[in-house]
A and B are shown apart, each in its own frame.
Chain A
Amino acid sequence: MFKKILIANRGEIAVRVVRACREMEIAAVAVYSDADRAALHVQLADEAVAIGPAPAVESYLDMERIIRAAHGTGAEAIHPGYGFLAENADFARLCEKERVVFIGPRSNALELVGDKVRARQTMEKAGVPIIPGMKSIPDTMAEFEAAARALGYPVIVKASAGGGGKGMRIVAEEKELIPALEAGRREAKSAFGDESVYLEKYLDEPRHIEFQVLADNSGHTVHLFERECSIQRRHQKIVEETPSPALDDALRSKMGETAVRVMKAAGYNNAGTVEFLLDKDRNFYFLEVNARLQVEHPVTELVTGVDLVRQQILAAAGEPLTLKQSALLQRGHAIECRIYAEDPLNRFLPSPGKILFLREPRGPGVRCDSGIYGGWNVPIDYDPILAKLIVWAETRELARRRMAAALDDYIVLGIRTTIGFLKDVVQHPEFKAGRLSTAFIPKHFEGWQGMAKDEEILRLARTAAAFAEFDRAERGTAAPGRGSRKSEASPWTTSGRWRIGGA
């Protein structure tokens, strides 16, 4: 087993990996940019190496500096977390060349699943269902009509130069097809200078369902069931759960077997996730492979009892996978909410800055994977994810209530967060009923204005603010020091502080 691992990441995921290392009695090396000198992951790690200025391209994305930090500290392996270099095949290859173990899939598997077109072709060949669509651009409208009929309406017109929804048109029936193609071509032409469009089957309000997979280096592969991640804002997942309210045992095992087949076709090792879309008729289609530890991995950990980070480290060290598919079970229900430094009342604009007061919720079945602390200055340079709140309970409804209560106890003062918004999401009747889809947020939360104002509560808020000022004024100018002066008299602080290493 490794003696030392370098974590090429920051924030809550770096903290998560440090914790796994500590429990496995492996030394953890943190890396940090200038903006993260005081970050939680740096505090908790055994060693810390500065890797450059705040911009990620000059620090967390700088492969050479990270490799140098690994060599300099004698780390035998690198855990990339998610984001940054996690799915970068060049980095995986560099690690292989530099004889540092990359905790993730081997570079050729990473390359295959990273190329969306190649991955789709490989999966289609392996008999995995993909979203049906045209494979070439036809010349005549008659060919489009025939293709649309074969796919079955509704279909979607997509620009082959693609991106940003430009040129996209949803077509519900045949008489709308030709006008939609013409409009799509015009839009594609002006957006990309290329008027080619093609048709794909349109999935109306699909669910996003993904399967967690683990594979060792010799190809023994198991899945750890699904996660439903349909609750998304601008294609970003915000609430995830498992089991999915949409699956029954038959569909679950069929999708799970497919996920394992996908990973075997890709020659995949280590932890990975196979993403599917599930339509209203319960047909599922392969979307892509996420070749890393996912943000939402904790919900799987809570219902299966498997520590995924530990499994990643074991697999990377060449240990055979000891988990048997038939022995894996889902027990109870888990939900995760992602806590972002964004202002839901102001177009979800980022809200970096200093956290003046923090209290994270706790209680039975409550887990908080966090990268922050009271007094931490959330930098402007990175992703707005602050923490993840994850709950477990025997049933979905109990887990949902536990989540609502835990969100109520989650206090972050000084910066804006998405906590209040998430509270309304999990309390929504459609969420309660498990009627989820990727259209959930735009459909139910367009123009969200925050929770109802209660005059009584506003009055108490004013009272508390007034008390704080009153109290400060009453304690006079010397007041801020009064409490601390008393503690300075403690014998523990008069003998001077301990110093280590004589620095």
Chain B
Amino acid sequence: MDFEYLIEGQVRRIALVKKGAIYVVRDGDVVFEADIRRISEHEVMMIVGGRSYPVSFARDGDRTFVFLEGREFVLRPPGEDAGGFHRGEEKALGEGLVIKAPMPGKVIKIPVAEGDEVRKNQTLIIVEAMKMENEIKSAIEGVVKKVFVKVGELVDSEKMLIELELKKE
């Protein structure tokens, strides 16, 4: 059976073939055998090349969380945009034209309305969770085309909040 995952920013193809109690794994160009036993709903035990790896995993929609060797990975089907914001900045800048929620939370302020012209760095929307406010600013100079949410609304991570369009010259 073939699978394709987006993991740590890379798309990789992997194939599993069951051979008795063993799985033959083809990951890219590498082929190896893995002895995999399910221990519980969320745990498996793998032995690969004589080394043993306890692995925990869980699924949420199309994401699979995998924990092994003290590290956690998130695997997704390929072709999904993993996030619409820059890392390491004090305030998020909406990237491009569709602004998505950077985290689950509650919309507490929308200082713009449809049809408004916005400057670069102008605050578009404020989402709050766990006593932390996250102000999302416009990355471009443009016009608010659509506001998808209302103040007080609970939003999930990556929910579309606002759509901008470039100002016509």
Question: Which residues B30-48 have CB closer than 8 A to chain A?
Answer: 30, 34, 36, 38, 41-42, 44, 46, 48
A345 to B102, CA, bound (A): 12
A401 in the interface, Cβ–Cβ < 8 Å? Answer: no
- Chain A neighbourhood of B154, CB < 8 A: 380
Does A349 lie within 8 Å of B1, measured CB to CB? no
A358 to B130, CA, bound (A): 21
Q: Smallest CB-CB separation from B58: which chain A residue?
A: A356
| Interface residue count on the A side (C-beta < 8 Å) | 49
A64 in the interface, Cβ–Cβ < 8 Å? Answer: no
A346 to B59, CA, bound (A): 21
A343 to B23, CA, bound (A): 34
Binds B, one of A101-109, A174-182, A204-212, A456-464: A456-464
Does B58 lie within 8 Å of A413, measured CB to CB? yes
B78 in the interface, Cβ–Cβ < 8 Å? Answer: no
Question: Which residues A453-503 have CB closer than 8 A to chain B?
Answer: 453, 457-471, 473-474, 483
Does B53 lie within 8 Å of A460, measured CB to CB? yes
Q: How far is the CB of A484 from chain B (nearest CB, A)?
A: 10
* Number of interchain pairs (Cβ within 8 Å): 161
B123-135 toward A: CB 8 Å interface, digit per residue (1/0)? 0000001111010
Does A465 lie within 8 Å of B92, measured CB to CB? no
B71-104 toward A: CB 8 Å interface, digit per residue (1/0)? 1110100000001010111101000000000111
B8-32 toward A: CB 8 Å interface, digit per residue (1/0)? 1000101110100001010100100
- Chain B neighbourhood of A354, CB < 8 A: 60
A241 to B60, CA, bound (A): 36
Does A462 lie within 8 Å of B27, measured CB to CB? yes
Q: Smallest CB-CB separation from B8: which chain A residue?
A: A453
A463 to B55, CA, bound (A): 10
Question: Known contacts A382-B131, A460-B46, A463-B14: does B71 contact A451 (CB below 8 Å)?
Answer: yes
- Chain A neighbourhood of B129, CB < 8 A: 349-350, 352, 380
Q: How far is the CB of B49 from chain A (nearest CB, A)?
A: 10
Q: Can you list 19 A-B pairs with a CB-CB distance of less than 8 A?
A: A345-B87, A346-B87, A350-B104, A351-B104, A356-B58, A356-B60, A356-B65, A380-B130, A407-B70, A414-B58, A462-B5, A462-B12, A464-B46, A465-B66, A466-B1, A466-B16, A467-B36, A470-B3, A483-B41
